[in-house]
Amino acid sequence: MIAVCEPQCKGISHEKVNSGFIYGFRLAYPQEKIVFFADATHFQAIQDILENDKVLVDNFECRPIKFKAESAFSIAGIIKYYLLFKKIFSELLSVKVDKIFFLSTNPIILYTIKKLKQQNRFKNIFCTFVLHGGFEDIANVDYRDPYVPAIKHQFAISNSSWLKAVIIKLFKYRHKILPIVIRKILSPLFWLYSKYTLVFIKIFRLKKIMKWKHSNHYRYIALSPHIVKNAKDYIDTDYLNFHTIVMPTVFAQPCAPANNNFVKFAVFGYGDPARMNKMLTLLSAKNISKPYEIRIISMDGRGTDGFPNINCVSNGKVLDRKEMENYARDIDMFINLYENTRHRLGCSASIFDSFSYLKPVLYTSNDGYNYFNKPEKPIGFRCENLNSFVDKMCDIIENYESYKAELNFFINNMLEYRVEYAIEKKLDALRRSFTFDLDAKGST
């Protein structure tokens, strides 16, 4: 039996990469049952996307679990995760299984698991953890104290006649005043809650918890080689048993390149609304003579109101993968505006959406994209800042026909990368991260 757990995600969050790991396990261990400890909505999302990707994962069973990942950094969060993992570990031991693969983690999850493993009955359970965006915390010196508005308390009741007048006024305008009063009451509570959460965040830092009581019973998976390379500046990745499995993705069937009368760009999935607004402000100042489209294939169109040639297709609703794929069919390029500080220690799923749907990329430089856009075999255009990004976008808009050959060149490169990054090429690495051969080292 292969035990897999997703202790944080619900619904369609991380559904693409998680489905890639599930499919990888089916290929790596074809005779084993895969038992998936996850929220029921996430299990359904995995089933849906596997069906959409036309891959079969049989002998795949869900053990529904409940959690509140958003409130993990609290005493209640620690207790709930502790009880949850105690129940899961007990179930594993009852069927003589001593390994479990976690599709995500955070410091509280890791801490509770390490506390549990101090118990004699659980000490020989082996755990592998996939690292996502939260791993960026190892490079943070400290957390910034979140902004909290000043709270003023005024008690200036001087005499009963004044008090009587205030009470009359309050009653007369109660419908307008009540929301204000509620806000005044809730504001201090939110302030206290933010301080309470901040204390836990400062205590439970990921790097500290990873090093605390570390042993060869723990493995970590980075989703790109650049993550391990950059992480070496902050932690000992060899000591912590790091493995690399390039983000497992079930790639869509190749389709013909777009052949439009004018260029069409798209933001696919999560974007950066603030950066998008800055980019569109710069773009709108240009004297562009040719038509173009920027399609927002996500539910987040913030920062795009009032700008021309924007097409927000979701109308504020969450699109399923099939809808997103349909909207991407005639797109020429995916655009990405992450700052150069993003994804130094993480891997964006959006770059693999580009590989999957064969959409060359136009992006502002960041390590997560730069690693996959290699100079000797490029898959798109790298720009060092928003100004150069806008200049390149304008040139593509004005000279679309002359760019088509280069876009096709990028697509051919992407087809070659798809072979290199295919799940079938990662099975040995997946097995090594999960079998706990204590003499084996991490591998790509």
Greater model confidence, 156 or 436: 436
**Residues 403 and 277 both lie in one domain:** yes
Residue 81 forms part of a structural domain: yes
Q: Nearest-CA neighbor of 114 among 244, 235, 251, 211? A: 211
**Residues 226 and 290 both lie in one domain:** no
pLDDT at 188: 59
Residue 441 forms part of a structural domain: no
Greater model confidence, 10 or 315: 10
Lowest-confidence region among 184-188, 280-284, 401-405: 184-188
pLDDT at 148: 32
Residue 17 forms part of a structural domain: yes
d(C-alpha 183, C-alpha 20), whole Å:
45
Tokens 């790509």 correspond to 444
**Residues 271 and 414 both lie in one domain:** yes
Contact partners, residue 423, CB within 8 Å, separation at least 6: 20, 23, 24, 27, 248, 249, 250
d(C-alpha 433, C-alpha 442), whole Å:
7
Which residue range is the domain that position 405 belongs to? Answer: 264-420
- Residue 235 and residue 133 in contact, taking contact as beta carbons nearer than 8 Å: no
d(C-alpha 444, C-alpha 442), whole Å:
7
Q: 56-92, pLDDT tens digit by residue?
A: 999 999 999 999 888 888 888 899 999 999 999 999 9
Q: 403-425, pLDDT tens digit by residue?
A: 999 999 999 999 999 999 999 99
| The total number of structural domains that make up the chain | 3
Residue 258 forms part of a structural domain: no
- Taking CA atoms, 58 is separated from 32, 37, 86, 88, 99, in Å, by 10, 16, 27, 22, 20
Q: 295-306, pLDDT tens digit by residue?
A: 999 766 677 778
Residue 29 forms part of a structural domain: yes
pLDDT at 429: 94
Q: Nearest-CA neighbor of 2 among 51, 57, 55, 53? A: 57
What is the arithmetic mean of pLDDT over 173-189?
A: 57
**Residues 416 and 427 both lie in one domain:** no
Mean of per-residue pLDDT scores for the chain: 86
What is the arithmetic mean of pLDDT over 285-290?
A: 94
Residue 403 forms part of a structural domain: yes
d(C-alpha 401, C-alpha 379), whole Å:
18
**Residues 38 and 181 both lie in one domain:** no
Quick one: tokens of 151?
Answer: 């709270």
**Alpha helices (H) along 252-385:** 273-284, 321-328, 349-357, 367-370
**Residues 87 and 216 both lie in one domain:** yes
pLDDT at residue 286 above 60?
yes
d(C-alpha 312, C-alpha 309), whole Å:
10
**Residues 283 and 428 both lie in one domain:** no
What is the arithmetic mean of pLDDT over 255-284?
A: 90
**Residues 125 and 226 both lie in one domain:** yes
Q: Give backbone dihedrals phi and psi of 406, rounded to 5 degrees, phi first.
A: -70, -40
pTM attached to this predicted model: 0.84
pLDDT at residue 352 above 50?
yes
Lowest-confidence region among 55-59, 202-206, 333-337, 416-420: 202-206
Quick one: tokens of 144?
Answer: 């910034």
